[in-house]
Amino acid sequence: DLVLAAHPDMRISSLLLVACVGVAAGDMLARWKEWYQTKFKPCVQVCPRHWEFVCGYDQHLLRYAVASSACALQKHNACSSEDYQVVPVDKCLAYLKFAPESVKPSVNSPLPVMMVLD
């Protein structure tokens, strides 16, 4: 009788565990979306010629600026640091400090790559 009485309790605890995990995952997704909208998006622009998302550091201006990986890595002559909007350092660094690590972004939400602009 004791063994039979234990089974319903085990089922209930398993259901509670699943419910808690589901709530935690939903909360993390909501936090990631909030972070993306408030911390990451203000730091990022699109390269006007190559349509890529990247956040980088402009040595000449000594500030973080938005750049294209195609321009910086492949040395495309069509683009220069003047093509990108300069943004405050704190906005660019915010995604490094506050980005949730346990939720991976989807393909539609590319993360920036830190790099030095020429």
The confidence score (pLDDT) of residue 31 equals: 72
Every domain of the chain and the residues it spans: 2-117
Closest CA to 81 of 113, 115, 117, 51: 117
Between the alpha carbon of residue 18 and those of residues 15, 30, 42, 87, the distances in Å are: 5, 18, 36, 43
Question: Strand order in 55-58's β-sheet?
Answer: 63-66, 55-58, 116-117
75, pLDDT greater than 60: no
Instruction: Give me the residue label for tokens 């203000």.
Output: 42
The confidence score (pLDDT) of residue 109 equals: 43
Dump pLDDT digits (tens) for 9-54. Answer: 545 555 555 444 555 666 777 776 676 566 555 445 445 555 444 5
Question: Which range scores top for mean pLDDT: 48-52, 104-108, 114-118?
Answer: 48-52
The confidence score (pLDDT) of residue 27 equals: 73
pTM over 0.75: no
Q: Extract long-range pairs of 2-10: CB within 8 Å, 24+ residues apart.
A: none
User: Which element (helix H / strand E) includes 31?
Assistant: helix 2-35
What is the average pLDDT value for the chain, to the nearest integer? Answer: 51
Q: Between these two residues, 23 and 114, which has the higher pLDDT value?
A: 23
Instruction: Give me the residue label for tokens 């750049």.
Output: 67
Question: What would the mean pLDDT of 91-96 be, rounded to a whole number?
Answer: 51
